[in-house]
Structure 1
């Protein structure tokens, strides 16, 4: 088995499992009660609805199913709405079926359905495709053996029941075989709980495993194609973006190289002067930090102006002449002097000073 064949089989099995789960979940959500047909005589059925407590149901009625290709009976008017989309459980008389006991090893209980299918043509006159069949629950007959009873009937004999359910627009039909020990005629009180389930068939318009599997496979194919297209588009877009990024990187490198050449050339003296001034001129934050270290705690600066290489400060202090000396002692200033008279009024807490000093570029440790 090749790898591709194995992958296809695994994928088909997974899709089938998901489809069965979806159909089972949708079946549990069905709000319509089931309709039961109990065969009390040959081709004579009692039809009743399995009512939920507190809900009204149509009255029981008798249905006569003709043999052969005769026209199928129509349901009573009171039943038409109830039958539409419902599940029909048909409990058939045991004399319709061939009953064959089958003894198997106890270990075969896990594969019982597959073994019944494989041995059906040996136990009955029909193959698995020609018959409707089922089995009873296995019974232990010894420590190493189990026994089950295979139940089978030719499929064409039961086709009329399926066509009847289709004509009534039912959603699905389930066939049961009444117990072999059921009294004859079969009592109309017989239920499907003590009968053997044979087969279930979804009818037109209902949700079935095959249809859900096809939809899931189509969705999976569409998702795979979409993912492949997205990957291809992403790859093309990524290559284009990488190309544009490379072009931008080259342009930036070229522009930087051109700027370096301009700075080194002789035809851009103004730019070199600005760069030199930037390197030689101290920053205002450096001057403010130097002043904050120089000025005593009883001194308050109300105005500060920096114009080129000159600094002017205005404020209040207790000893204005002492400030001039402190400023001149700083490595950042030179030639400190008063550019306006020092005054003091009755309302001022100290002397109002106006000091001007030259700025001396200084790049010490940490500046």
Structure 2
């Protein structure tokens, strides 16, 4: 049951709207088709500016899809206005992050159920008292998802820094501290872990330059494309209606001709099938002739009928018990057998019999003398 529950939680996390949901993935996939400069102007990239402290200098770096590239080294403390003048219009709208060194934080590995993926930060808050010597209100924290196991459980790193040390790291930034969108931590290789130790209420969200005008122009372009597509579709629909009207008249005529042709074909095929069936079965004259050759003297037929491929013979005979043996071996039928018991007829001193056999087809006529060897004609 836990495996099923974890799978459902994972599926719900992918389908629900949000950064990790289906709508977020769809938006990122569409944005990936645009040039990088356009994505930057529209604020659709994950680019950000990273500020870190080395001795008495601040290191400014630019993180993009191509990696982290150092831009400049600046004296501390910094002011937001000075940094805007240095960056220019292109990078002024990028979010600004403080990057702490790896040894400045406490890192604890955790294993959590899959249901915790939607509210990872809230879940790890309850683990701070057990995993660290600090209380949840005395630290700044976040969680980093390392991997998802095959059983659905999550391997998570709890990142914690005491609030006093956190405030000391923000102090050299001066007025720029209030402009931060987040605080990340550098891994051993120098790349950011992807966490945000800054409280959600203190995060500064920056808009891309001229984002509003770009969105308006994109909306107008989308409306124009939709209107043009609707006009073309309406014209095509009218042309299709006219063509359908003309085609319907011709279709009715063609349908009547096809129906008559099919009736004729069915009639011809039925006649051919009937002729083939008749050719594959012996005629009544051939069956009667074969019976007259094989039945012995003293045998009188009262009725002979052919029902499909079944032959039924009713009559009187002095040798009724030996008729089956005399009828075997015929090329016109097989499996001769008496149907029911023999009924003695005291008046005629004969036995009434009913014989059945299965017709198998016509063969070449018997050679002269065959009837003399197998028996004589019936009376």
Q: Given the two structures, how large is their TM-score scaled by the length of structure 2?
A: 0.33
Q: TM-score, normalised by structure 1?
A: 0.34
